[in-house]
Copies of this chain bind each other. A is one copy, B any other.
Amino acid sequence: MPTYQKPPTVNDDARAIHIYREAARIISEKGFDATSMGDIAEIVDLTKGGLYYYIKGKKALLYAIMNFVLNLLEEDVIAIAREGDDPDERLATLLAGYVRLVIDEPSSMNILVNEEEGLDAAYRPKVMERKRAFTDFLRESIVAVLERQDRIPKLDPNVAAHSVLGMVHGVVLWYKNDSTIEPDDLVNQVTQMALRGLIVDPPSTPDPKVTRTDVERSRPRGRHAA
Contact = CB atoms under 8 A, between A and B. Distances in A.
Interface of A: 29-31, 33-34, 114, 117-118, 153, 155-156, 158-160, 162-171, 173-175, 181, 185-186, 188-190, 192-194, 196-198
Copies assembled = 2
Contact of A188 (B34, B153, B167): B153
A114 B33 CA distance: 13
A56 to B, nearest CB: 21
A30 B190 CA distance: 30
A170 B181 contact: no
Given A33-B31, A197-B194, A162 B170 contact: yes
Given A162-B174, A170-B162, A171-B162, A193 B197 contact: yes
B118 A159 contact: no
Nearest to A160: B193
B174 A170 contact: no
A7 to B, nearest CB: 41
Given A29-B117, A163-B190, 6 more contacts: A114-B114, A156-B185, A162-B171, A162-B173, A165-B170, A196-B197
A116 to B, nearest CB: 10
